């Protein structure tokens, strides 16, 4: 919701394993209405939040204001289970996305995620089933990683788009590549041209190493192609249809804006906490609870994980003050421990502002100038045109996956980040009592400094 408020065109949920959503209970916090009468002590406010509750907590939570923009991301290795999971949530989302790129063991050990890259028959069978069984207004899409060679990637891409998907997201890393390694964005340009040549009108979305709205223009230019080398003003054909931002959005969900927030300790975190929290009063009956104590009721552990990752340039606080602020959040046991940081718990005002912004925003097109900015600057400074063109050609030259990376690997105990022995193989939920439904790691605690 925060990302949508600050300019995101669409939002994807985390990868949720198909079985995890099948036995949940859908619970709605009454009916949300912008025209509802003002809440009072005897008539509490209701947010309209939709929660799919598992045994111990909500597996998936959303709000009606998100529905036109929300894509539900499934982890699956079964066409039947994928369809059942999609039908479970279809009334609350606008699209279903099959994750075919997650390299983590919780996903690959069951044949899901990046394991599907080595089983294209199953991958395409799942997408075909989803497209056949879901209503036409619900989009079906997939997210993959690059294969070792461009030819292999193109073959897989062609098979995927022939299933009837509306969009394809390509994470510009191979299965073995980790986040610390630079995404091979230049490889996507050729794939975009290939899809256009097939005459299929689908969106090709880039994922990997984009830091925000302005940086997305760089990505779009890198995935385009220069067509008129002899013209004094080089033209660049449209590249990727859009850009998916993940890591940077976890650090600052306002990165989708052309002017993302800075000093998040004061500009973002307090309002975010007020928006997602529910401060309960044990001595007050729920039906008489003050309306400003009932908000989106996000699970405390999830809120703490998200907020602990927020960071942005600072102009108001020193590094020591920012560390002390983060330490306070990490040490907190619940929302009540953060009153000193948040101040008044007036979450309804933040909620109303967010809803209003989303409802009144206008769509933006990700475009690039005819002449890349660095080339324009070179021309302005008198740099010979040939040198400027050589520089641009070097930047746009495709980058291949290193030859020593023969991936993707077949699913095995020795897959990237996989268990080293059978004894370390993840146990099924029926034994452990819990199910790993998201690849998000547990945040590392920030230890207070000792004097």
Which positions are annotated as active-site residues?
Answer: 102
Structure tokens of 318? Answer: 């020193």
Coil, strand or helix at 121: helix
Q: Which residues contact 146 (CB under 8 A, 6 or more apart)?
A: 153, 170, 171, 172, 173, 174, 184, 187, 401
Question: b/e for 197-223, b at 16 or more Cβ within 10 A?
Answer: eeeeebbbbbbbbbbbbeebbbbbbbb
Q: How far apart are CA 320 and CA 419, in angstroms?
A: 38
Q: How far apart are CA 106 and CA 90, in angstroms?
A: 24
Pairing of strands 25-28, 50-53: antiparallel
Structure tokens of 288? Answer: 């008489």
Whether 127 and 163 have beta carbons less than 8 Å apart is answered as yes
Considering Cα of 234, then 238, then 239, then 243, what sign does the dihedral take? positive
Closest-CA residue to 187 (of 237, 225, 141, 137): 225
Whether 147 and 408 have beta carbons less than 8 Å apart is answered as yes
Q: How far apart are CA 396 and CA 375, in angstroms?
A: 13
Q: How far apart are CA 319 and CA 311, in angstroms?
A: 11
Q: Residue 439 has what DSSP assignment?
A: -
Beta pairing partners, 204: 168
Phi-psi region of 141 (alpha: psi -120 to 50; beta: other; left: phi over 0): beta
Q: Which residues contact 156 (CB under 8 A, 6 or more apart)?
A: 117, 120, 144, 147
Closest-CA residue to 117 (of 140, 96, 141, 99): 99
**Within the chain, how many helices (H) and strands (E) appear?**
18, 13
Pairing of strands 95-100, 139-145: parallel
């Amino acid at each position: 919701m925060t990302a949508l408020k600050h300019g995101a065109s669409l939002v994807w949920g985390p990868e949720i394993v198909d079985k995890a959503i099948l036995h949940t209970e859908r619970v709605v916090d009454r009916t949300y209405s912008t025209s509802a009468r003002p809440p009072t002590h005897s008539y509490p406010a209701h947010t309209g939040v939709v929660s799919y509750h598992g045994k111990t907590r909500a597996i998936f939570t959303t709000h009606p204001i998100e529905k036109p923009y929300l894509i539900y991301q499934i982890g699956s290795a079964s066409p039947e289970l994928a369809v059942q999971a999609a039908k479970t949530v279809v009334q609350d989302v606008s699209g279903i996305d099959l994750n075919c790129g997650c390299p983590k063991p919780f996903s690959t050990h069951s044949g899901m995620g990046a394991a599907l890259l080595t089983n294209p028959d199953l991958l395409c069978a799942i997408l075909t089933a989803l497209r056949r069984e879901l209503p036409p207004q619900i989009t079906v899409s997939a997210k993959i990683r690059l294969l070792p060679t461009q030819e292999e990637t193109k073959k897989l891409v062609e098979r995927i788009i022939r299933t009837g998907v509306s969009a394809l997201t390509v994470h510009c890393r191979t299965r073995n590549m980790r986040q610390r390694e630079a995404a091979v964005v230049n490889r996507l340009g050729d794939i975009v041209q290939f899809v256009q040549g097939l005459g299929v009108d689908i969106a090709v979305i880039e994922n990997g190493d984009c830091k925000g709205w302005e940086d997305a223009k760089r990505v779009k230019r890198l995935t385009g192609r220069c067509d008129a080398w002899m013209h004094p003003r080089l033209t660049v054909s449209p590249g990727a249809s859009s850009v998916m931002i993940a890591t940077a959005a976890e650090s600052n969900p306002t990165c989708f804006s052309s002017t993302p927030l800075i000093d998040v300790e004061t500009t973002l975190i307090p309002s975010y906490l007020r928006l997602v929290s529910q401060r309960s009063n044990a001595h007050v009956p729920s039906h008489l609870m003050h309306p400003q104590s009932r908000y989106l009721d996000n699970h405390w552990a999830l809120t703490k994980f998200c907020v602990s990752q927020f960071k942005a340039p600072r102009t108001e606080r020193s590094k020591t003050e920012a560390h002390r602020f983060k330490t306070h959040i990490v040490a907190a046991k619940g929302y009540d421990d953060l009153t000193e940081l948040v101040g008044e718990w007036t979450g309804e005002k933040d909620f109303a502002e967010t809803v209003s912004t989303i409802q009144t925003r206008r769509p933006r097109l990700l475009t690039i100038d005819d002449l890349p900015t660095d080339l324009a600057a070179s021309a302005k400074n008198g740099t010979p045109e040939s040198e400027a063109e050589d520089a641009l050609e070097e930047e746009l030259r495709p980058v291949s996956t290193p030859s020593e990376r023969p991936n993707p690997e077949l699913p095995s105990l020795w897959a990237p980040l996989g268990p080293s022995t059978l004894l370390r193989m993840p146990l099924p939920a029926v034994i452990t009592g819990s199910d790993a439904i998201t690849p998000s790691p547990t945040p590392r605690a920030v230890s207070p400094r000792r004097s």
